[in-house]
A and B are shown apart, each in its own frame.
Chain A
Amino acid sequence: MLWAISRNTAALRMFFRKDTVKICDLGIVGYEDALHFQDRLLRRRIEKKAPDTLIMVEHDPVVTLGRLAERNSIIDGDYFERTGIPVVPSGRGGKITYHSPGQLVLYPIVDLGEKKRDIAFYIDFLEKTVSRGLNRLGVPAGRVREKRGVWIRGKKIAFIGIAVKRWVTFHGVAVNINNDITPFSYMHPCGERDIRVTSAKEWAGREIDMNTARKVFAGQFEKDFRDEYAEPASKRGIDDNAVKIA
């Protein structure tokens, strides 16, 4: 149950508005709890019993290993043992990353089957909307050709790893806002060697108000999702039966 998994009830908000996307803010929760919440919402969305929803969350410190993560992605396993940071497998795409409070994670549970069935297009969309959100916070981040994620002057600030079931998305994108980025230096984030990681706080030289960040990213996602995906597939000339297996 949603109420039971958040320790930060002040930050817990669900806005049911007549917009294209519902916003669900879980506050700070453990990775596994958020995963269970996503899973339940995913099933309800597949059954058409829930609307397109953006889950926003901060996680307790955790290292997650996507489906393609290699064991040698961790440079110093002792560091994570010493600091008590768990390393857990995840069913998302992508490789290794790190989550902790101060990092804003967006998990859109949206049905692409009714819209545009294109995973690369969806990842492009996530990168653009996160870039715009960071720009509105005064951080001039953007996309880099032939690289995934969001970057600022050669440093990575947002990390993408998604999953799709029956064309409904889950997992999503993690944006470094105020979080401690030290643990990233004990791994090869996204499996890339020599990668440098930054945060909005490091760039701005000051803390960013997390409530402001939440509002900015929720508003940006709603707007961009409406612009990119609001038209039904039939109006885009997409044949709903075009993607058949067999």
Chain B
Amino acid sequence: MQLRLPDLSEGAEDAVITLWHAGETDRVIKGKDLVEVTTDKATFDIPVPCDGILVKIFKKKGEKVKTGEDMAEIQEDRS
């Protein structure tokens, strides 16, 4: 599953990745904070969308990200 930057505002501005709460190969749990992005005046915490393994981070801390852009890939647990 790709983790994408959600639409934070109409006419959205770029955001910057300011904090990853987990690293590649870490197990992640649905609902926990995964990544913090920051716009000019706001920080926004994005939660883990599903239980699984964080296999790849595409946008590292300090990099800019646009709405809809992939930030990471999570290998979802098979139930």
Q: Is the CB of B46 within 8 A of A120?
A: no
> In the bound complex, how far is the Cα of B19 from the Cα of A155, in angstroms?
33
Establish whether residues B49 and A119, one from each chain, have CB atoms under 8 Å apart when the complex forms. no
User: Measured between alpha carbons, how far is A38 from B51 in the docked complex, in Å?
Assistant: 28
Q: Are A93 and B1 in contact (CB under 8 A)?
A: no
List chain B residues, Cβ under 8 A from A118.
8-10
Size category of the binding interface on chain B: 20 to 34
Q: How far is the CA of A121 from the CA of B7 in the complex (A)?
A: 13
Q: Count the A-B residue pairs with Cβ separation under 8 angstroms: how many? A: 79
- Chain B residues within an 8 Å CB radius of A246: 1-4, 49-50, 74
Q: Is the interface of A mostly helix, strand, loop or mixed?
A: loop
Pair B43/A164 contact, Cβ less than 8 Å: yes
Select from chain B the residue with minimum beta-carbon distance to A124. B9
What residues of chain B lie closer than 8 Å to A162, measured between beta carbons?
A: 41-43
Interchain CB contact under 8 A, A121 and B10: yes
**How many whole Å from B14's CB to the nearest CB in chain A?**
12
* B38 CB contact (under 8 Å) in A67, A123, A242, A245: A67
Per-residue CB contact flags for chain A residues 148-177 toward chain B (1 = under 8 Å, else 0) read 100000000000111111100000000000
* Residues of chain A with a CB closer than 8 A to B50's CB: 246
Residues of B contacting A121 with CB < 8 Å? Answer: 9-10
Cβ-neighbour of B6 out of A161, A163, A165, A243 (below 8 A): A243
Scan B39-72; emit 1 where CB is below 8 A from any A CB, else 0.
1111111110110000000000000000000000
Most buried by A among B4, B45, B50: B45
Say yes or no: B8 contacts A119, CB within 8 Å.
Answer: yes
Q: Which single member of A66, A94, A120, A166 contacts B10 (CB below 8 Å)? A: A120
Q: Does A68 belong to the interface (CB within 8 Å)?
A: yes
Given contacts A118-B10, A243-B6, A246-B1, contact A123 B42 (CB under 8 A): yes
Chain A interfacial positions (CB closer than 8 Å to B): 66-68, 91-94, 117-121, 123, 148, 160-166, 242-246
A119-B39, A160-B41, A164-B43 provided; 8 other pairs, C-beta below 8 A? A92-B43, A93-B41, A161-B41, A164-B44, A166-B45, A244-B6, A245-B3, A245-B6
List B residues at the A interface (Cβ < 8 Å).
1-4, 6-13, 16, 18-19, 33, 36, 38-47, 49-50, 74
